[in-house]
Amino acid sequence: MASSTTGSISRSWSLPNILTYARCAAVPVVAGLLFWPNESWARWSALVLFVAAAITDFFDGYLARAWSQQSSLGRMLDPIADKLIVSAVLLMLAANHTIAGATLWAAVIILCREILVSGLREYLAELQVPVPVTAVAKWKTTVQMVALSVLIAGPAGEGVLPGATTTGIVLLWIAALLTLYTGWDYMKAGWDNVGNG
């Protein structure tokens, strides 16, 4: 029993899980920095942290598989960390008016899909129905992260990339459309299995 407990604790503190914890810890820091949207240092600092968090999202899963350090805790926390940072950034960008008007609908679509997919994943997991990540879903995540990165830079990024904010808004809409498309896979799987639970 003791060795099992020790193994569980050591797996909880494996490098892949530590990267996931770091991503969770970055959420309030990135959100806090976006409270100063007119300060270039705050925009760039938030961008650096967000990009670092996005990079850990790739490496935690990759290392967990490569080193056979996958765990129930990691599988649970990884999508939560992703949704926390995306949701927090979208809310802060809306609050500081980096995104406004009709573009808020793109943010609403992304947020609603994330909540819906979380519920459907849990439901389908109980039914042991696998829903593999598609290539389109990976593209959606990539476009979404690039869009948010550009929008986090916002006005500060205009000096480096003229039209950065407009580019970020266009990419956010593309991500929203891909979000609707990929969300359909989960909806269909959930609908096909209604009544099986």
Number of domains in the chain: 1
For residue 154, being part of any structural domain is answered with yes
More confident residue, 196 or 134: 134
pLDDT confidence tier of residue 50, bands split at 50, 70 and 90: very high
For residue 10, being part of any structural domain is answered with yes
pTM, full prediction: 0.83
**Residue 13: pLDDT over 50:** yes
Residues 65-94, mean pLDDT to the nearest whole number: 81
Give the domain CATH number at 89: 1.20.120.1760
Which of these, 112, 110, 98, lies nearest to 168 by C-alpha position?
Answer: 98
For residue 197, being part of any structural domain is answered with no
pLDDT at residue 1, rounded to an integer:
44
Residues 69-84, mean pLDDT to the nearest whole number: 75
Domain containing 105 equals: 2-192
Q: Which of 18-22, 166-170, 187-191 shows the lowest per-residue confidence on average (mean pLDDT)? A: 187-191
